[in-house]
Structure 1
Amino acid sequence: MIRNRDELVGSGDGENGDSGSADRIRGLALDCIEEAVSGTRPERVVREAVALGDDDVLSVAGETFDLGDYAEIVVLGGGKAAVGAAVALESVLGERIDRGAVVTDDADGGGALDRIAVREADHPVPSERGVEGARAVLELADSADEDTLVLAVVTGGGSALLPAPAEGVSLADLRRVTADLLDSGADIRDINAVRKHCSALKGGRLAERAGPARVVGLALSDVVGNDLGTIASGPLSPDETTFRDALGVLDRYGIDAPAAVRDRLDRGARGEVSETPKSGHPAFECVSVHVVADGLTALDAAVEVARERGFGASILSSRVRGEAREAAKTLAGVAEEVRASGNPLAPPAVVLSGGETTVTVRRGGSGGPNLEFALSWALDLDAPADAPIALAAVDTDGRDGGTDVAGALVDAGTVGGRIDADTARDALADNDALAPLADAGCAIRTGPTGTNVNDLRVLVVGDEREREA
């Protein structure tokens, strides 16, 4: 999966040598990343969650459905993991699926499909292709009736990939307000509060459109805490935010929204536009959504790899959030503590974390949360350049921010060795972390992974006594 592994580690496979070996430390960090991503592939997790019995009873995460009760089965949805999820559903149901359409940013990433159409769109800023794909999904939802079983794929990235502008709002309006919100450092819940109220699909609107069909959602979560109202902007879930909340987000982050967006939100706050459906709305009476993979799924897979290699392993948190460069300083402190006192684990140790950090864009450089995290960690770490410590930080979808890399692999000698400290500081100030990390051979390149369960960080601290022996 990691395309430039030899550049990052050398020709070694990361499994040989003692637990203080630099190659082994770096190789283990990459092995943990690869297994974590593999463990959240939609083909795998959806196939584990969905089964069809001999009696024509479909089981979805423990919920059962007699297919004899339905005249047709429709698959719809979107997100970065949508194709893999669709492949898994076709492998279980085959010709029982009557129609379907999913929208993704990597149409070739999951394999061939016979019953479900794949529409390609763009992320993180919505495009006309996304509008067309969302239209196809809404048409399927509108055509469903009480005799239809709708299997809906809801995965990270769906907010941008399924734009569906509301009446009076153009795609250009959505693009501008989305880009400004992403650059502002706003968290995903605040961003989605605005997007939900400018959409014909988000914030439970898809559930409204699909009624009275029976709707079963399969979600891969890229959201801290797995809030169903936030994953892909909650197309199948009650929305507890309001038009007034959305206006508050624009004001809080100083967003100069397009006039059409501001006008719609103002009219909604005055009660002139109907609110998104809330808890208790009839639209959700026949809807259930199951999370089949999340950040903790990825972390658990990485723990197993570390322990198999003889390292102690612990999950620090799957819910780390806040400004990336500041969160990185905390993890630098954790690395120093492991090395100095053996807390929370004695070396050789792997400390794992995930979540969703953000970047407030102040300059026009190239980077993303994981690139800034890695560079800030390497700059802040207080340890000798030859200390056996490494950190891999990636976005599990393979694209960190607006870049074409997943993240970076750094160690105690990255800053002060391959990257000058002043260069690192300047890059962070310019939001340009990719440039020095790529020049130093630290960027991790995977291409699109076909899944998305948010950020993943693997901190490896080797045993210096073995290295010195």
Structure 2
Amino acid sequence: MNAKMRNDAYSIFSEAIAAVDPAACIYRSVSKKDNELIISGEKYDLSRYDNIYAIAFGKAAISMSKAIEDVLGDSLSSGLAVTKYGFGNCLSKMQVFESNHPVPDDSSVKAGQMVHDFLEKTQASDLVIFLISGGGSALLTYPRKGITISDIARITDSLMRAGATIDELNTARKHLCSIKGGGLAKMAFPSESVSLILSDVVGDPLDVIASGPTVPDTSSFGDFNEIIERYEIGVTMGIGGLLEDGLEGVIEETPKAGDYIFEKTSHYLVGNNSLALQEAEIRASKLGYNTMVMSSSIVGEAREVAKVLAAITREERHGVSPLPLPACILAGGETTVTMKGNGSGGRCQEAALSFGIETSGLHNVLLLAAGTDGNDGTTDYAGAFADGETLERGKSIQLDAHAYLSDNNSYAYFKETGDLVKTGPTGTNVMDIYIILVDMF
């Protein structure tokens, strides 16, 4: 693998991560002058409130919390921050709690109970600032009556293995959990609430990010049922009963647009994948590459998306593309992996292995595919590098790339070839980044 291209790609990726550092996103959007809080140009007179609280949840909860503590200073009364195991850190005024991701566990329910109990004590004269980032759906769970955490964990795992999109996964979560789909806004009412949101979802729909806990829900029990039937997911007695009651109108739907609970809510998007790609493009240009941002909305099966990226790379390599060499093509989004094998590895590693197969034999081309949170799937790696020699490196140590891909075992393949990307927890989460470099011969 070309060492310079590899270093360049990692430098570009690092710049993208820095751009969406949660603290930086908060500082860009939020400031305080005297007794006035300014959020994206909107002003809040802090003297109007008896108490100001902050509740953060998601993979970026700690960084966002530290920034809001810094901005508000003594104006902040107290708060809670819920993040992934291993992502926690001490805060000045906010209690920190860790729970599981991507499949919720008992700690997720405990976190949900803590938030519920906290909000029960807030009053109409209080301001609650929600700091929301990706991963919040699993980390913060408050099951509906009759639903257990094992019900939620089982259906979450089944849908993920079936290749369900994040939108579909969250539709299920919204109807199984009382916090999601506007439920948190309902708990906070009659307090005024402000949500500062770091998007990890394609297109930045606020009702999908962390399952839209503070915004009106656009999905229904009917949508939930359709997803279950389409993916042929077996449900427990508890979920079956809930679905039946929901479809028949025996239990109420999630809060919708126009509901009184949203009269005192405001929402601000403070960071997303597009911002990361913008800064990545600037860095690539400084390194001497001719750049293009292809899309921040890449979706689909990871290995199939990689075939498209490989096709674009081949055209660039053969001079078909109008982008002059050396070239850097950037994209972002969130693909899916339908598990048919028994291996390990996330969507980025699977995409990288497929890309390596498709570009075999091409010279001076490289892909870095990595998750901005530093974790790809259930692994401790962000993603992987792949190039035209990925297959040959495997063959030299008796590895069959096609067999590893068929077994969804990209992690094991790249571990042996030494091409995994490790960043450690980044503290942010704005989906995935794809960096394609094509250099001169």
Q: What TM-score comes out, normalization by structure 2 length?
A: 0.97
Equivalent positions of 1:110-129 (< 5 A) are 112-129=90-107
SS in 2 for 1:456: strand
Judging changes above 3 Å, is the alpha-carbon distance between structure 1 residues 382 and 442 closer, same or farther for their aligned structure 2 residues? closer
**Which AA in structure 2 matches 1:457?**
Y
Matched residue type, 1:450: G
Partners in 2 of 1:116 and 1:139 — Cα distance? 15
Q: 2:41 aligned to 62, 68, 75, which one? A: 62
The residue type equivalent to 1:65 in the other structure is Y
Give the residue type in structure 2 aligned to 1:405: Y
Pair 359,340 (structure 1): closer, same or farther in 2 beyond 3 Å: same
* Aligned residues of 2:360 and 2:391 also touching (Cα < 8 A): no
Q: Determine the structure 2 residue equivalent to 1:467.
A: none
Q: Once superposed, which parts of structure 1, at least 4 consecutive aligned residues long, lie more than 6 Å away?
A: none
* TM-score, scaled relative to structure 1: 0.91
SS at match of 1:34: helix
Measure the CA separation in 2 of the matches of 1:340 and 1:459. 15
- Cα drift, residue 348 of structure 1: 0.4
SS state at 2:171 partner: helix
Secondary structure of the residue aligned to 1:77 is strand
| In structure 2, distance between residues paired with 1:106 and 1:73 | 27
* Deviation of 1:96 (Å): 1.2
Give, as a single letter, the amino acid of the residue that structure 2 aligns with 1:434.
Y
Q: Residue 305 in 1 paired to residue 305 in 2? A: no
- 1:335 corresponds, among 309, 313, 320, to 313
Q: For 1:401, which of 361, 369, 377 is the aligned residue? A: 377
Please list every run of 5 or more consecutive structure 1 residues that lacks an aligned counterpart in the other structure: 1-8, 10-21, 465-469
Q: Secondary structure at the match of 1:209?
A: helix
Matched AA of 2:384: A
Q: CA deviation at 1:382?
A: 5.0
Please list every run of 5 or more consecutive structure 2 residues that lacks an aligned counterpart in the other structure: none
Task: State the identity as a percent.
Answer: 38
**Shift in CA distance, 28/261, structure 1 to aligned 2, threshold 3 Å:** same
SS at match of 1:358: coil
Kept in 2: contact 1:76–1:140 (CA 8 A): no
Per the alignment, residue 267 of structure 1 pairs with 245
How many residue pairs get aligned? The number is: 440
Pairwise mapping of residues 455-466 of structure 1 onto structure 2 (< 5 A)?
Answer: 455-464=432-441
Q: Is residue 52–residue 92 contact of structure 1 (8 Å, CA) maintained in 2?
A: yes
Q: Identify which range, 30-39 or 229-238, moves more after superposition.
A: 30-39
2:296 is equivalent to residue 318 of structure 1: yes
Counterpart CA distance in 2 for 1:290 and 1:326 is 34
Contact 2:81 2:95 in 1 (8 A): yes
Separation of aligned partners in 2, 1:252 and 1:217: 33
SS in 1 for 2:282: helix
Contact 2:59 2:87 survives alignment (8 Å): no
Secondary structure, counterpart of 1:357 in structure 2: coil
Map of 1:89 onto structure 2: 68
Structure 1 position 140, deviation (Å): 2.1
Shift of 1:419: 4.5
Asked whether 1:412 is paired with 2:388, we answer: yes
CA contact (8 A) 2:281 2:292 kept: yes
Structure 1, residues 353-412: CA drift from partner, whole Å, max 9, x if none?
01010000112210111010000000011543xx11111001111111111111001111
* Distance apart, 1:107 and its partner CA: 5.7
Aligned to 2:179, which of 195, 198, 201?
201
Contact 1:107/1:118 (8 A) holds in 2: no
Q: 1:355 aligns with which of 333, 338, 346?
A: 333
Contact 2:360 2:389 in 1 (8 A): no
Q: Is the 8 A contact 1:106 1:448 kept in 2?
A: no
**Cα deviation code 1:261-319 (max 9, x no counterpart):** 12111111110111000111111111111111111111111111101111111110000
Once the two structures are superposed, the pairs formed by residues 187-198 of structure 1 within 5 Å of their partners are 187-198=165-176
Could you tell me how far apart the structure 2 residues matched to 1:309 and 1:427 are? 34
Deviation at 1:92, TM superposition (A): 0.6
Corresponding position of 1:48: 28
Deviation at 1:176, TM superposition (A): 0.6
- Match in the other structure for 1:4: none
